Amino acid sequence: MYRPLRQRLMDLSPLDLRLAGALVAMAALSGCASDGGGVQSQKLAAIQSRGSLVCGVEGKLPGFSFVESSGAYSGLDVDVCKAVAAAVLGDPAKVQYRDLNSSERFAALASGEVDLLSRNTTATLSRDAAGGNGLSFAPTVFYDGQGVMAPKASGIQGLKDLAGKPICVETGTTTELNLADRMREIKAPYTPLKFQTSDQTYAAYLQGRCEAVTSDRSQLAGKRSSFPDPGAHNLLPDVLSKEPLAPATTNADPAWSDAVRWVVFALMQAEESGITQANIDAKLAEAKANTNLADLRRFLGVEGDFGKHLGLPADFVVKAVKAVGNYGEIFARNVGTGSPLKLERELNRQWNQGGLLYSPPFR
Amino acid sequence: MPAAVTPWWRNRRLIPWLAQAAAGLVLLVLVAFLLGNLVRNLTAAGLLLSWGWIDNPAGFDIAETLLPFQADMPYWRALLAGLVNTLRVVVVGLVGATLLGTLVGVAAFSSNGLLRRLARIYVEVIRNIPLLLQLVFWYFVVFLALPGGSAAIQLPGVVLAKSGLYLGSPELVNGQWQAPLRFTVEFSALLTGLVVYTAAFIAEVVRGGVAAVPRGQWEAARSLGFSHLQMLQRIVLPQALRVIVPGLNSQYISLAKNSSLAVACGYTDLYSVAETTLNQTGRAVEVVLILLGSYLLINLVISALMNGLNALVQLRER
């Protein structure tokens, strides 16, 4: 149905006009900041013009994100931030870290305070769905499960022994719900003591207020490594839930979410292809010299325009791997058997070695 | 000579009325615009208020509740249990803070110099340290440092252990204390923190009120042969109350609002339940509205009661 413009304009309320004005202003502001081969991502443009990536992390979890005595952040989650910063900005050091507790993390992401949430966050339906938290999850970087830790001296061997006892748990986590569900299943009443930060939770546990503390097994192992006497605490055999920990962005900017997703996949693919921090330069030279290595050439950005599709530089994979190494190296350095956490790869092995890591093809 | 007709713009009745009406209209338009904007943006974000989730099972447990609660009960019941927990600490806290605050405030007028100084030190130290720090101190440093099990502090009819305060012939069963009346350490730490903190402010209000009673009243009382206690009780405090009550009102309201810091010491109050609810449902706007409404209601009730009390103690013209 055609109606003259003047008539259509008259249908608009003053409110609509004001809204339209704001939209025009926003479009004008963002219009000058979009380039990168037709990829429209305000987030990418904002990060590039700011010159740094703002990454939300836990900040107090050894192995995942932790401030070293030198003042630098380190950990598996931190390395994801660094890899993304290297891919987008060419420099893994251009990251501003924000420590977020479990209840503020989603609000910080939704409000745009952080560009990327790399904070041992479990991917779930309600967090992913547009009607829930409206997040967009990158590939799982750590397949975890909820566990329970209790002092060795208490003689607690499993969940059943915890009936009627107080258990410390961090509020606002999936952990809280899983604990309630499992304890209900085995018909064991218990007292949940909830704290807002992980520091408070473990402080109360170490003070002996609760008989056990529950969280993701990796987090328990990480925290235990910083206890005064790590040997005095047992991880119980019970695994209460699946906890796939994944970086997250918001649903608002799909192009940015895609870029993050493929940087993470690149770290996994690099391990599968045998590309490491040490041999990346040699591999790159090999790819450049030999036109028959089509897969490698595409992966490293020697040919094709995968980077451009994502709004990233053509050699984003090279930059990311150079910065932090492949997934296997990241795992080994931060949480593996050589680190204080001493975690096995288990589910976090490559798909062709019995694990769950599976990068879709770079095609 | 006929009275000159006043032009309408100089009408002393009409003009104020018109000004009020204009101001009211502007306010109404502003509120309508803001509400319209909110609804528009929430609709665009798919977050328009919906309350269906409130009947869904909560799925989480609450450590201690006056109102019985289980994980399979709906969210509204969890929030209500949280509200009751908040009211519990607020009501007990108000009574405790008033008693302690009055004692400290009156101690500032004691004839005992040591007592006077102690009261000053108490007020200055407590009111100049952030409440959150004090709560963390009470919980982690004082209460959690208590011994547990058979090593607990035992007095006749009272046991103070790491797991809580037990009243009324407590017994040790399987290494755990049991008693008819029990306050958890979380509740005790929060209550202690709120009472000690608010009492410092109430003490100042009381001190101000007592100081406002003219010197002559004290002297008159003394010359009539009243003892120091009688003087306070019969002459000074009743007059001081007129000054004290309005000041108390705002301290009471502060205590009610400060109770939302409960999560710092692990006590599950309304705020803590709301936070878990928000995290699980993603209904931020609705949950925050419930929170706002609840605290507003609690404080309006406190204000109304205090205004009633104020009307009672004010000087009546005879």
The Cβ of residue B59 has, within 10 Å, a number of other Cβ atoms equal to 18
What distance in Å separates the CA atoms of residue A83 and residue A79, rounded to the nearest whole number? 6
Domain count, chain A: 2
Query: Which of A242, A257, A290 marks a domain boundary?
Result: A242
Same domain, A91 and A231: no
User: Quick check: B140 and A107 CB within 8 A?
Assistant: no
Same domain, A121 and A160: no
Amino acid A205 reads Y
Give the residue carrying structure tokens 């962005």: A249
Mutation for testing the A interface, residue in B38, B56, B61 having most A CBs under 10 Å: B61
Same domain, A259 and A348: yes
Instruction: Identify whether A278 is part of a domain.
Output: yes
Q: Is A356 buried (19+), middle (13-18) or exposed (0-12) by CB count in 10 A?
A: middle
Instruction: Identify whether A21 is part of a domain.
Output: no
Look up the domain containing A228 and give its range.
144-242
What distance in Å separates the CA atoms of residue B117 and residue B107, rounded to the nearest whole number? 9
Same domain, A229 and A318: no
Whole-angstrom distance between the N-terminal and C-terminal Cα of chain A? Answer: 44
> Mind telling me how many Å the CA of B89 is from chain A's nearest CA?
17
Per-residue model confidence as pLDDT tens for chain B (318 residues): 566 777 888 888 888 899 999 999 999 999 999 999 888 877 776 667 778 889 988 888 888 888 889 888 999 999 999 999 999 999 999 999 999 999 999 898 888 999 999 999 999 999 999 999 999 999 999 999 888 778 888 888 888 888 888 888 888 877 778 888 888 899 999 999 999 999 999 999 999 999 999 999 989 999 999 988 888 888 888 899 989 999 999 999 999 999 999 988 889 999 999 988 887 887 878 899 999 999 999 999 999 999 999 998 887 766
Same domain, A267 and A328: yes
> Mind telling me how many Å the CA of A176 is from chain B's nearest CA?
7
Cβ-Cβ contacts under 8 Å, A15 against chain B: 33, 36-37, 40
- B140, B162, B272: residue with CB nearest A194: B272
Look up the domain containing B281 and give its range.
55-125+187-313
Domain count, chain B: 1
B-chain residue closest to A200, CA distance: B264
Write down how long chain A is.
363
> 3-state DSSP call for residue A168?
strand
Is the entire prediction scored with pTM above 0.90?
Answer: no
Which CATH number do you get for residue A210? 3.40.190.10
Same domain, A122 and A154: no
> 3-state DSSP call for residue A41?
coil
What distance in Å separates the CA atoms of residue A41 and residue A34, rounded to the nearest whole number? 7
User: Quick check: A180 and B61 CB within 8 A?
Assistant: yes
Instruction: Identify whether B153 is part of a domain.
Output: no
Which CATH number do you get for residue B102? 1.10.3720.10
Mutation for testing the A interface, residue in B279, B283, B287 having most A CBs under 10 Å: B279
Instruction: Identify whether A38 is part of a domain.
Output: no
Specify the DSSP element, H or E, that contains B176. strand B176-178
Instruction: Identify whether A4 is part of a domain.
Output: no
Instruction: Identify whether A290 is part of a domain.
Output: no
What distance in Å separates the CA atoms of residue A346 and residue A339, rounded to the nearest whole number? 16
- A102, A171, A190: residue with CB nearest B272: A171
What is the predicted ipTM?
A: 0.75
Whole-angstrom distance between the N-terminal and C-terminal Cα of chain B? Answer: 47
